[in-house]
Chain A
Amino acid sequence: MRLLTGEGFWSPLIWLALAAGVALLAWALRSRGRQDYKRGTEQETPFLSGEPMPEGVHVGGQHMYWGFVEALRPVIDGLRAFHTGMVSDYVTWLVVMLAVVFLVVMLS
């Protein structure tokens, strides 16, 4: 039940044991949380500075990296300029990058 590779080994039994350990740790941490809240009351709702919980509001995935996008706005705008949507442009970039990699390999 062990697969040897050039970089190490892979054993499903060890993976299962590690996964069980992580699950056990997660359960132990979660069980230390407060148990004394009342179900079905406001104590279960998110705290929004006292505002009522609006219907159908979710935190979108894009909100997670909004700050990074704004902080790196010049870089991202520059990268977006490369994305013309034309296959010939992408193939050109591929050829150019292959040439760069080739030069780096040859020179090293």
Chain B
Amino acid sequence: MRLSSFKRALWVYHLPTGSCNGCDIEIVAALTPRYDVERFGIMLVGTPRHADVLLVTGTVTRPMADRVRRIYEQTPDPKAVLSVGGCGSTSGVFYESYNVAGPIDEIIPVDVYVPGCPVRPEAIIDGVVKAVAKLEGLEAGEKA
């Protein structure tokens, strides 16, 4: 899938659930002039109520589990969830830690996994493009 196939802007809500901030910094790097994802219409928004994609970083700590579920439910449909980083995908070095509720897909359904510790901005952009493909498929299915 090429980026030129974007049909509309994609609004992303960044949800850190217990990240060390390594992945969060790489998300910021994707917004800087070197990568500049906003030129494709990909932009971060301040509320899940406006979001098409939830970009979740970090393993889910126990106090965050309910918040993650609530934020997922508050996001309008159709939506896609991006798990960014090794911690979000597998809990990483925090696997079975006493204060970890689990990787993100044990709390909410995940559509795209972007592994890495931390992930590179190119990988985040690739994950978002895959989320776009999923959303376009969902919308096409809803219209059919």
Q: Which residues of A contact B (CB under 8 A)?
A: 34, 36-38, 41-43, 45, 47, 49-52
Q: Which residue of B lies closest to A45 (CB)?
A: B74
- List, in ascending order, chain B residues with CB within 8 A of A50's CB: 64, 66-68, 70-71
User: Are A41 and B70 touching (Cβ within 8 A)?
Assistant: no
Is A37 within 8 A of B76, CB to CB? Answer: yes
Answer whether residue B75 sits at the interface, using C-beta atoms and an 8 A cutoff.
yes
Pairwise interchain contact A51-B48, C-beta atoms closer than 8 A: no
**CB within 8 Å for A34 and B76 given contacts A47-B47, A47-B48:** yes
**Closest residue of chain B to A41, judged by CB?**
B73
A52 touches B70 (CB 8 A): yes
The answer on a CB contact under 8 Å between B67 and A47 is: no
A36 vs B79: C-alpha distance when bound (angstroms): 11
User: Residues on B close to A: CB < 8 A?
Assistant: 47-49, 64, 66-68, 70-71, 73-78
Contacts of B68 in A (CB 8 A): 50
Chain A residue at minimum C-beta to C-beta distance from B46: A47
B79 to A: closest C-beta gap in Å = 10
> Which of B64, B67, B70 gathers most chain A CB within 10 Å?
B70
The answer to whether B70 and A36 have CB atoms under 8 Å apart is: no
Bound-complex Cα distance A38 to B76 (A): 8
Residues of A within 8 A of B78 (CB): 36
Min CB distance A28 to B, Å, is 20
A47 and B49 within 8 A (CB): yes
Among B48, B71, B76, the residue within 8 A (CB) of A36 is B76
Could you tell me the distance in whole angstroms from the C-beta of A34 to the nearest C-beta in chain B?
6
Complex Cα distance A65/B68, Å? Answer: 32
A44 CB, min distance to chain B CBs, angstroms: 9
Residue of A nearest to B13 (CB): A47
User: Chain A residues with Cβ under 8 A from B77's Cβ?
Assistant: 36-38
Closest Cβ neighbor of B64 among chain A residues: A50
In angstroms, Cα B49 to Cα A94, docked, is 53
